[in-house]
Structure 1
């Protein structure tokens, strides 16, 4: 059975790293949020520090819509891994429901995974040099502001919650695989 795994967590929590490990383990297609964002971010000249104008996000939405059409119409056996930061704003819940509905429409298992990490560790990670090459947020003050003003969407009841400061990414990916297999055997 194909799966749609949704890795959600704040910036610098390790979504892409764990998603890559999970893709290596499962063969699923990784649809990292920067895969969708970067064509627009690069064209605009985003630097990971300067706030982006609203029109940039409107273009990102067009890329997201095209990506979701491809996922919806993907070959039946293809699994997907998505990564995203979702704020505690009620409208961000729509992204969880969209992927839940996409999975149901494809006959795939939906696997929500919420990644957590203490704020001081996120602040340390946000400054790591590798984040610059993928146009990721690198400003510690901006990260603190995001966490304090926007928060993180609470995990749904069926989510696997993992603290990325407590386990290495290969182990986190393996836990997701084990959780997915356990959920399948219960159905």
Structure 2
């Protein structure tokens, strides 16, 4: 029997919709050969089972996320990346659950907060790939979502906050890798 990796690092990339979380996470994954599971993967599976926002929908999403994370820790992965539109304090229980799973195996969360101006968010939100993935894809929808949520940096001492206003996803990913001393093993 293989014992779980005792120092797994979960890179929890969070921020408002359209800040570039998945795009940056994908770059970080490619540069560092770290597995990535997008927050929307669990949502997509739950949609197949229940349709969006049906009873038990968010319970299934949560269970899928926890099962995936637990599986990653049991597979001895030293690093793992996930994304979330973390809104404080509403999503604090989700992070506590992530913490519980990670700490069970001796690991810890490395939070990364991405942000940019509301004007930039509005410019980015209509990108065709957002609509294809079932994400918020209209300025009006995004404005309402921003008004109802508090997309701030996770309140942790080790949280890295980076602006995606004028940097490329690759530049942001490199900054994350350098800050957390993740070896860059692949170049494009």
Instruction: Identify the residue that residue 29 of structure 2 maps to in structure 1.
Output: 23
| Structure with greater helix percent | 1
Note if contact 2:115-2:161 (Cα within 8 Å) is conserved in structure 1.
yes
Cα separation, partners in 2 of 1:33 and 1:100, compared to 1, 3 Å: same
Residues 35-74 of structure 1: pairs in structure 2 closer than 5 A: 35-42=41-48, 52-74=53-75
Instruction: Identify the residue that residue 177 of structure 2 maps to in structure 1.
Output: 177
Note if contact 2:27-2:169 (Cα within 8 Å) is conserved in structure 1.
yes
* TM-score normalised by length of structure 1: 0.82
Gap runs ≥5 in structure 1: 47-51, 183-187
| Partner SS, residue 109 of structure 2 | strand
Instruction: Identify the residue that residue 49 of structure 1 maps to in structure 2.
Output: none
Gap runs ≥5 in structure 2: 1-6, 183-188
Distance 1:99 1:147 in 2: 24
Greater alpha carbon shift after TM alignment, 12-21 vs 142-151: 142-151
> Would you say how many aligned residue pairs link Structure 1 and Structure 2?
175
Distance 2:121 2:103 in 1: 33
Instruction: Identify the residue that residue 83 of structure 1 maps to in structure 2.
Output: 83
Q: Offset at 1:25? A: 1.3
Q: Offset at 1:116? A: 0.5
Distance 1:5 1:154 in 2: 14
Q: Offset at 1:123? A: 1.4
Instruction: Identify the residue that residue 143 of structure 1 maps to in structure 2.
Output: 142
Note if contact 2:13-2:81 (Cα within 8 Å) is conserved in structure 1.
yes
Q: Offset at 1:107? A: 3.3
Distance 2:99 2:56 in 1: 28
When the two chains are superposed, the root-mean-square deviation of aligned CA atoms in Å is 2.2
* TM-score normalised by length of structure 2: 0.81
1:38-93 CA distance string (max 9 Å, x none): 122355566xxxxx345432332232232233133222x441001001123x2411
